[in-house]
Structure 1
């Protein structure tokens, strides 16, 4: 494919978008907003139930809604959007092609299938274990399987981002250090890899427990490792947000950092 048909220059910002990267940015960002919207709608049910004058939902339904709300808002929305940010901060800001777009689409598919599978498990009513899903409370196997698929997809996407940095460095599409916005995205990616690995370490044995292949997961070990996943996922959000703030200031106002 020729350079002219692969890249598009935004007439307003002057930024150069590679076709595969742009499609993946849109897919991940739109999916993120859908889960944000879904989580926000579920939040209405949570608020109206906690409001004593209304107390809308029954206890079983309340915890079902609260579980879906927590996962959609604190995991799926954040990480889908972060992947879109990673692709923007690598391919677009460094003006290079996206490394392995097929793997990037595979990552998106795994994340989407995992997120939908997890939500279905919650809405079926047997997985109202809250976002933390502490053992010995057990959800349906598909609840954990969905999270594992999502984590694998997100991990692949992180490595696609890192591979894109290698492409940019090899093709010499920038000089000196990477832009500050890209540096922030690299920070978010490093945190994301740790976060996803922590989730996999504890969710895989929990899935095996749910299907009866192992007898026990230690509750204290579960909580310790799960919160390495839970807290770190919020730090992904912080690093990505800081990157976006710098990007918005630069694109909208032409601002430049005093030091890279």
Structure 2
């Protein structure tokens, strides 16, 4: 009788797309989280050293090079932290909604250890001063071969993780013929498809260009080709960071506030549009570069602006959910629903602040992608401030909000009122620090302040006196941010090992009862991938052929110094 009841519970759980996460699965998912939060601490320390150096009041000790610190900060936060957290979150979501088999789990462990080996190889070369090439690793900067080989392993490991996710959904669909896939599983699949297609660009650049060049097998490297391949990858990388935050906004936040998903169809369509318009737009990062036909730059700028559509769809859906939930609970007036959102619940507050930060962040992105306005801010510290608004605020605060329930759910502990209050303090500290630092970066950028430069390179110039106040503000904001990092790491440690034992909910919202049925064509993956590839071929084929045909035979000599400007 007990076994029958258990089976019935499992069947009901499968029906609503919420499967129990067993200990072996939780161990896998938490392994990615451990790497992510170690990266947060190390990368945050490097960021603190950066703003101190840029203030002109601090010199790095022991002969440490500024660009070494800058590379560690960019690589470990922009690539390592985000990728590990996202893949761990992907696995947890897929395990919860469609399940994971023992065989799939073993392959997932292979992906994890492949990424770890690659990460260690890359980290060692940077720490030894053999790869101070920043996270963009532009040629003609040249790193040690192990740096590029390590990057290749990280990419390969992430691909294996993506293949596991796709296989998980395929197995589920075989067991549930004719049913629509769970919304979160659909979203994970979109994000991994986008990641795979986009990372092909950087993988080709690393395997065909950088590794042979760094090993001495090739005497030259085509700089424009390498930069074009990088930015084919570099812009969708931003959406690879952002879409997991959108997953939480669409499908998890409604549950936390006691509501339901406004529209399953709208959520799926927004993700499909992000897949279409996030990849064929890399030229808007290369608007000031010669060698690319201006017509194709303009076309890709137009395609870039198309991502505004799914962003506005998301904003509409979220605030519709907030208002409907509030009014259903009896809150009246124009903004009565807003006043009664769960502001004292850090699982909601942290992501909500991230949502608000995306408003100025998105506006800055439009400026960066605009043909004329880009010329004003290109390669200034404005761009750095923009990254810190989008990735370091919108994405990171949402990731923190996810961590407050995901980590205790996986470790069998609870988010106590004390830790919840500390999380609210951490969110406020982070917001204040980022507002000061990012705001100062934006203003200094408008005054012409360069990015990727230490104070020693321009400290004696006439413009430096105009910038010094903003650089001091960046140091103040960076210090406050580092306090926020310490608080977040402390909370993570408590939730992972020391919080009281218990059960924390894995919040997945259901769709509104009267919502329109989700059209079956959303499950037509061949169609979505074919359209994506067609857009990429349209945007890149002719200009890429033109770049190869008209580039000089030998762009950069092999004996360019390793890891130096």
Bigger Cα Rg: 2
Q: Tell me, yes or no, if the aligned pair for 2:169 and 2:185 is still in contact at 8 Å.
A: no
CA distance in 1, matches of 2:251, 2:19: 12
* CA distances 1:84-139 after superposition (whole Å, capped 9, x unpaired): 12112212122453662221111100111111111110010121111111112211
Structure 1 stretches (4+) deviating beyond 4 angstroms?
A: none
2:192 aligned partner? 189
Q: Tell me, yes or no, if the aligned pair for 1:75 and 1:233 is still in contact at 8 Å.
A: no
| Alpha-carbon spacing, 1:43–1:127, altered in 2? closer, same or farther (3 Å) | same
- Bigger shift: residues 191-200 or 57-66: 57-66
RMSD across aligned positions (CA): 2.3
CA distance in 1, matches of 2:102, 2:166: 10
State how 1:1-260 maps to structure 2 within 5 Å: 16-52=20-56, 54-57=57-60, 61-97=65-101, 100-172=104-176, 176-205=179-208, 206-260=210-264
Q: CA deviation at 1:49?
A: 0.7
Q: CA deviation at 1:171?
A: 2.5
Aligned residues: 248
Q: Tell me, yes or no, if the aligned pair for 1:32 and 1:76 is still in contact at 8 Å.
A: yes
Q: Tell me, yes or no, if the aligned pair for 1:18 and 1:97 is still in contact at 8 Å.
A: no
SS in structure 2 of the partner of residue 183 of structure 1: helix
Q: CA deviation at 1:230?
A: 1.9
Q: CA deviation at 1:175?
A: 7.4
| Alpha-carbon spacing, 1:147–1:240, altered in 2? closer, same or farther (3 Å) | same
Q: Tell me, yes or no, if the aligned pair for 2:19 and 2:98 is still in contact at 8 Å.
A: no
Q: Tell me, yes or no, if the aligned pair for 2:98 and 2:168 is still in contact at 8 Å.
A: no
| Alpha-carbon spacing, 1:96–1:130, altered in 2? closer, same or farther (3 Å) | closer
The alignment's TM-score, normalised by the length of structure 2, stands at 0.42
Q: Tell me, yes or no, if the aligned pair for 1:104 and 1:156 is still in contact at 8 Å.
A: yes
CA distance in 1, matches of 2:221, 2:37: 34
CA distance in 1, matches of 2:255, 2:140: 49
SS in structure 2 of the partner of residue 16 of structure 1: coil
Q: Tell me, yes or no, if the aligned pair for 2:184 and 2:251 is still in contact at 8 Å.
A: yes
| Runs of at least 5 residues in structure 1 that lack an aligned partner in the other structure | none
| Alpha-carbon spacing, 1:56–1:175, altered in 2? closer, same or farther (3 Å) | farther
* CA distances 1:163-203 after superposition (whole Å, capped 9, x unpaired): 1111211223x973223322222221112112321221101
- Bigger shift: residues 73-82 or 14-23: 14-23
Q: CA deviation at 1:60?
A: 5.9
SS in structure 1 of the partner of residue 21 of structure 2: strand
CA distance in 2, matches of 1:195, 1:255: 35
| Alpha-carbon spacing, 1:182–1:203, altered in 2? closer, same or farther (3 Å) | same
CA distance in 1, matches of 2:45, 2:178: 46
Q: Tell me, yes or no, if the aligned pair for 2:94 and 2:184 is still in contact at 8 Å.
A: no
Q: CA deviation at 1:217?
A: 1.9
